[in-house]
A and B are shown apart, each in its own frame.
Chain A
Amino acid sequence: MVSPVRKGGLNVAQEAYITGIGMSEVGVRLTRSALGLTLDAVKEAIADAGLTLDQIDGVATYPGKMQSFLGFSPVSSDDLIEVLGLKTRWHIGAAEATAQLGAITEAANAVKAGLARHVVCFRTVYEAAALARPEEFPPLERRKDVSGGSQWVSPFGAFSAANWTAQFAMRHMKRYGLTREQLAQVALNDHANAALNPRAIVKKPLTMDEYMSARLISTPFCLYDCDRFTDASTVVIVSAGDALDEIKATPIRIAASAGSVERYSWDQAEWAGAYPTGRDLWKNTDYKPKDVDTVQFYDGFAFQPITWLEGLGFCEVGEGGQFIEGGKRIARDGELPMNTGGGQLGWGRLHGFGFAYESVVQLRGDGGARQIAGDPRVAIATSGGGPMAAALLLTRD
């Protein structure tokens, strides 16, 4: 379904909007509970939107509560509904979805269908705290009785998505000539932007020397190419277009979305999900890449934004490294400002939702020291780095 844009034809009542954003304290090994952090972020988001709790009638999250390792996702939609005393008409919390931002797409579809008016969408991460408190949060068992997808990678020491993603990056180096100096621009750009974001865990810029001398994790990735476990909750509120009269904030329209998974197994996928998802996003809108004012690309690992640049057609496949070479084009004053809040390498591992949050900040002009110039109206937020991916096209109409 092609969503109408700027000139006429836009039936606001049939659209879905992000109307509020909120975030808890962002840190490493926080002591406040995961549910408490989630509450903090919800309160901030509803205040931002100008709503009250009794107006919230939907909840969406990714990936839902993960009992296998609670640090990865400690709070369920049911937990939140219970502690907020909500009377919901629609809710979801699902790992079997296109990717993190898929939860926001689901919420958008729900409000468009009239199933809810105002949906709290949240992603709470608690991995740093959980690893520091193993008696409360038993670590994921990786050593015996592994099953499902894990059995095909863990026995070979490929425990981490760093190993899986690194292999895609190595192929890009061999096939297309991607260099470590090009890859470094993602981390350097993230650190420079995070230094201007008071909520980011990174407080200062990174130099190329520091990057090149950092210890290796999994070639070509060094320490600065990998996000780090973070404790935080990020919330966006998705509202129905016919409920905007209840909102005080500038609404940001979810103008299009896309998501995909071709092979669920990381090691069977020929290409990252960014490629099919990126192509599909443009089929769902009549905006074009040239209309985009800022991109907020998932960067759990520094290689992933390169796949998004190529997948979304900002450059040809294989040219992502050249696109970011030197870092000028993706800087805040460049032609395509990227990860203006610091991305996950600078802000923290907010796991996808931070990109939607920062898109809203920039489109509203609320970025303070990190605000991009001009009058940004179109942003792309993405999530997912392996074979699953999701993308949102967000506009201030």
Chain B
Amino acid sequence: MAWQRSRPRLDNENRAFWTGGAEGKLNIMKCNDCGGFIHPPREICRHCQSENVAPHAVTGTGVVDTYTVNHQPWAKDMEVPFVIARVALDDAPGVYLTTNIVNCPVDAVDIDDRVRVVFEEQDGIWFPLFEKVG
């Protein structure tokens, strides 16, 4: 997909998520008190309201919770079709990431497929995409 991805505006809550790929890390906000994960990232834990939260590097593996093959070019330079998926992370219970499943044909993706993160960098943002494992 050669198109220019939408570029998130970085702030204190989302910076670790969008730039962690520079170090190969998929950072998800985690509560140091209750151990719960907070996504989208916030400065307050949504499980226990603790403010003792910090980005935590997860393993970057997970499963396809659900997906869709997008056929509609929503932007002029968007190449279709491609897979949009919702990935459930193995070690961040309750967190889903909307992402793309890459490096395979669009009809090779199914729910419950095991996937792992691969990063695509554009203009200083490291987008976490996923590819099938095995």
Binding site for B on A (CB under 8 A): 142-147, 149-160, 162-163, 166-171, 174-175, 215-221, 265, 267-268
- A159 close to B75 (CB less than 8 A): yes
Asked whether A144 and B67 contact (CB < 8 A) given A159-B74, A167-B84, A170-B111, the answer is no
B100 at the interface (CB under 8 A from A): yes
Residue among B8, B74, B75, B98 making CB contact with A146, cutoff 8 Å: B8
Chain A residues with CB below 8 A from B85, complex form = 167
Q: Quote the shortest CB–CB distance from B9 to chain A (angstroms).
A: 4
B32 at the interface (CB under 8 A from A): no
- A267 close to B86 (CB less than 8 A): yes
Chain B residues with CB below 8 A from A267, complex form = 86, 96-98
B39 at the interface (CB under 8 A from A): yes
Q: A142-B75, A157-B84, A217-B71 are in contact. List 15 more A-B contacts (CB 8 A).
A: A143-B6, A144-B6, A145-B9, A151-B14, A155-B5, A155-B7, A156-B5, A156-B127, A156-B129, A157-B100, A162-B72, A167-B84, A171-B111, A268-B95, A268-B96
- B78 close to A157 (CB less than 8 A): yes
- B9 close to A147 (CB less than 8 A): yes
Chain B residues 66 to 84 lying within 8 A of chain A, measured CB to CB, are 66-72, 74-75, 78, 81-82, 84
- B4 close to A143 (CB less than 8 A): yes
Chain A residues with CB below 8 A from B66, complex form = 167-168, 170-171, 174
Chain B residues with CB below 8 A from A158, complex form = 70, 84, 98
For A144, A157, A169, A216, the residue with the greatest tally of chain B CB atoms inside 10 Å of its CB is: A157
Q: Can you list the 4 inter-chain pairs with the closest CB atoms, starting with the nearest?
A: A166-B68, A154-B6, A151-B8, A159-B74
Asked whether A156 and B100 contact (CB < 8 A) given A171-B66, A218-B84, A265-B40, the answer is yes
Q: Quote the shortest CB–CB distance from B37 to chain A (angstroms).
A: 11
Chain A residues with CB below 8 A from B129, complex form = 156
Binding site for A on B (CB under 8 A): 1, 3-9, 11, 14, 39-40, 65-72, 74-75, 78, 81-82, 84-86, 95-100, 110-111, 125, 127, 129
Q: Quote the shortest CB–CB distance from A134 to chain B (angstroms).
A: 13
* Bound CA span A168–B85, Å: 11
Closest B-chain residue to A265, C-beta based?
A: B40
Q: Quote the shortest CB–CB distance from A350 to chain B (angstroms).
A: 22
Closest B-chain residue to A226, C-beta based?
A: B72
* Bound CA span A216–B111, Å: 19
Q: Quote the shortest CB–CB distance from B70 to chain A (angstroms).
A: 5
Residue among A149, A156, A216 making CB contact with B84, cutoff 8 Å: A156
- B69 close to A219 (CB less than 8 A): yes
Q: Quote the shortest CB–CB distance from A270 to chain B (angstroms).
A: 9
Asked whether A142 and B71 contact (CB < 8 A) given A152-B40, A163-B84, A167-B86, the answer is no
